[in-house]
Structure 1
Amino acid sequence: MNVVVQHRVDGDGRSQVSLAELIALRGRVGRVRMAPLVSRAARSGQQSSRLYGRGMDYAESRVYQAGDDVRRLDWRLTARSGKLHTKLFQEDREGCLLILLDTHASMRFGTRVRFKSVQAARAAAAAAWYAVRAGERVGMMAFGHADHLLRPQGGPRGALALCGALAEWDASPPPSDKHEPLSDALTRASRVLHGASRVLLISDGFSCDTSARQRLLDLTRHAGVSVLVVADALELALAPAGRYPLEHAGERSEVLLQSERQRREFQRALGAGPARLGELARSLGLRCSSIDTTADPFDAATGLFGHVRPAR
């Protein structure tokens, strides 16, 4: 996919994604020591395991299972044991990170510093630069308002393409009322993994539905899954008493919050999405982190793949 962003004015980094800012994150990655990355998760948690593929170094043989490639049968062991056995091989291909980016209208919201959509783009870019420095390919799938797919590419070119796509997708027409349940997005992602060994879901959780749990669980059978919850400050904590101007679809309104009860109900409604997604991720034992729109997303995004150690 060719990403063309040269003819648009760069975003301000607050309500619109700044391509220059995303590219500059490459310098941050260059100053950290890389830790081993978790490449695949077992169903019971985020434990790394061996991956197998054809044309690689032989690893072991096991009893034949339905669906195994008959071309990989271990005929010598089969003859000795009297039972069909299949050869398994150590995978020797580079890893691949697929980022699932939430682009629902709820992401175009922010009361502190920047929109959630901008923060999500910054986190995605940080993760991409970190991954390519570790020798992985990076790809991205948007869900919600946009349903674009950026196929995985390796090296700095892959990260640059991802940064360009983030800026281009963000500059597309304002979100409509289109809604894609998270379960549908995860089902779509399972069809376009393209050999991805890791998946990073970046979302505010408002698309999280009851079926998403099983879809996430299914996805962990194929790749290591991490979740980054992006939220606004008002979604995470009680707002101070006062009047709050809000704008949606070009219409302005004002919310008056005086009593503690009003403020708690307001925070509970605004924070329902992030709370729901965070709880779901933790209940499945997935690597999960949360950030608000004022935070530096670098450590949160890269920390989901291993401990980042400052260079000496």
Structure 2
Amino acid sequence: MSVDADRTVSESSTMEAGTNAGIVPALDELVALRRAVLGRRPPRRGRHGLSGQATSPVRGRGMEYAESREYTQGDDARHIDWRLTARTGRPHTKVFQAERERLTLIVADTAPQLYFGTRTRFKSVQAARAGAIAAWAAVRDGDRIAALRGSGREAPVVPAAGPRGALRVLDAMVRWYAKPPENDDGLSVALDHADRLLRPGARLVVLADPLSVVAQPPSRWPTLVQHREVVVLLLCDPLERDPPRTTLPFWIDRAAASAPHRVELDLATGAQRERWQAAFSTPMDDALAILARSGIRASALSTDAPSESWLHLFAGSRAA
């Protein structure tokens, strides 16, 4: 399986991956994607390290104006609100919003249909790479980073800030997308858990198969997006969206005890192409429409696309 020029994996990493390149994610591959994000805008540093861009209702001496109140002894004279002081005849001082670290939570769908691909890499590998891009973007923005998948038995990756938090998430992406997990309870369980963890102002990134999104109840997405920034990436393969007008061979393993056998699908006929579109294109279109109606920023992410091509979906991004 060839790898296109957008991949930032080093030559040595590619040699180590060998025939698994594009089939299973590698940790060094995901670490190398840091350059695709942090090269765009360096993290903002303050006296205590990386500082986040999200604000909280806590009042303090931060950077964003909140209100003005009457001056009391001990207030910094540099923050006097001269206009209000002149208007009222009593000294007033400005109070600012205190900055706090925001949580970026990455939810990984591990549906079996993601472990497949015909161009550049498997959908599962592209999902892992997109998760890595989201993690490095969280580092850039000074967020704490966490991740989870649909499992009632596996604990989420606990929130942590900086490269340490990102590496924990990257390690989870490698484990989850190396092969279909045996105890996958589905995207619905993952989103239930995410809804309990997230607070107002948090950022949520969902890596999902379109069928998993369509299967959610109608009230799921409007509830999830309230007071949060939500981005959903729908993994797809070029063959699914645009199949060739020819006969395609498939190998099917119906049971572990039987040998795989060859099945040919004639996609030159209209009826077969309509079935193909109903199985692949229709769920993608339906998922994008559902998310758009809920006010969620979403995008299809093909296996042959640059893994960072969706970053403009983040609010406040320069690309947006």
1:271 aligns with 2:271: no
Per mean C-alpha deviation after superposition, the further-off stretch among 272-281 and 223-232 is 272-281
* Residues in 2 aligned to 1:100 and 1:270: alpha-carbon distance in whole angstroms: 22
| Separation in 2, partners of 1:175, 1:255 | 29
**Secondary structure at 1:230 match in 2:** strand
Answer whether contact 1:115 1:293 (CA < 8 A) is retained. Answer: yes
SS in 2 for 1:32: coil
The alignment status of 1:154 with 2:164, answered yes or no, reads no
Does the residue aligned with 1:33 lie in a helix, a strand or coil?
A: coil
Counterparts of 1:115 and 1:148, CA distance in 2: 26
In 1, the alpha carbon distance for the partners of 2:148 and 2:283 equals: 20
* Selected match of 1:24 from 10, 27, 32: 32
Alignment map for 1:179-218 (pairs within 5 Å): 179-180=185-186, 182-193=187-198, 197-209=202-214, 211-218=216-223
Label 1:252 to 1:281 Cα distance change in 2 as closer, same or farther (>3 A).
farther
Q: Give the alignment of 1:100-179 within 5 angstroms.
A: 100-143=107-150, 148-171=155-178, 174-176=180-182, 178-179=184-185
**Corresponding residue of 2:300:** 290
**Secondary structure of 1:130 counterpart:** helix
Letter in 2 for 1:23: V
Is the alpha carbon distance of 1:147 and 1:292 closer, same or farther for their aligned partners in structure 2, counting shifts above 3 Å? Answer: farther
**Matched residues in 1 for 2:96 and 2:217: separation?**
33
Q: CA deviation at 1:239?
A: 3.1
Q: Secondary structure at the match of 2:31?
A: helix
Q: Please provide the CA RMSD for this pair.
A: 3.3
Using the TM superposition, give the Cα deviation of residue 59 of structure 1 relative to its aligned residue in structure 2, in angstroms.
3.5
Residue by residue, what CA displacement relative to the aligned partner does 1:101-135 show, whole Å, maximum 9, x if unpaired?
11111111212222111110001101111220121
In structure 2, what residue type is equivalent to 1:255? Answer: E
Q: Deviations over 1:16-40 (max 9, x none)?
A: 112111010012223213799xxxx
Q: Provide Cα deviations, 1:56-85, integer angstroms capped at 9, x if missing partner.
A: 879469xxxxxxxxxxxxxxxxxxxxxxxx
Give aligned-pair identity as a percent: 34
Structure 1 gap segments, 5+ residues each: 1-8, 37-47, 62-87
Mark the CA change 1:145 to 1:187 in structure 2 (over 3 Å): closer, same or farther: closer
Cα distance in 1 for residues equivalent to 2:152 and 2:280: 20
**Corresponding residue for residue 313 of structure 2:** 304
What whole-Å deviation, never above 9, does each CA across 1:140-178 have from its counterpart, x for those lacking one?
Answer: 111269855111111111111111111122346x44595
Aligned pairs, number: 261
Q: Distance in 2 between matches of 1:49 and 1:24?
A: 26
1:44-83 alignment runs, 5 A limit:
51-53=56-58, 59=66
Separation in 1, partners of 2:224, 2:235: 21
Matching residue's letter, 2:250:
P
- Residue 304 of structure 1 aligns with an amino acid whose one-letter code is L
Q: How does the TM-score come out when normalised to structure 2?
A: 0.70
Seen in structure 2, the aligned counterparts of structure 1 residues 252 and 126 have a Cα distance that, compared at 3 Å, is farther
Q: Secondary structure at the match of 2:213?
A: coil
1:220-231 equivalences under 5 Å are 220-231=225-236
User: Shift of the alpha carbon at 1:100?
Assistant: 0.9
Determine if contact 1:145/1:179 at 8 Å carries over to the other structure: yes
Contact kept, 8 Å, 1:96 with 1:197, in 2: the verdict is yes
Provide the TM-score with structure 1 as the length reference. Answer: 0.72
Q: Distance in 1 between matches of 2:217 and 2:131?
A: 21
Which segment is superposed worse, 218-227 or 206-215?
206-215
Residue pair 1:137, 1:158 contacting (<8 A) in 2 also = yes
The residue aligned with 1:78 is none
1:211 Cα deviation from its structure 2 partner: 4.6
Distance 1:262 1:217, change over 3 A: same
Where structure 2 has 5 or more consecutive residues not aligned to the other structure, the ranges are: 1-15, 45-52, 69-94
Amino acid at match of 1:303: H
- SS of 2:218's equivalent? helix
Amino acid at match of 1:227: V
- Alpha-carbon distance change, 24 to 248 in structure 1, aligned in 2, over 3 angstroms: farther
Larger Rg, first or second structure (1 or 2): 2
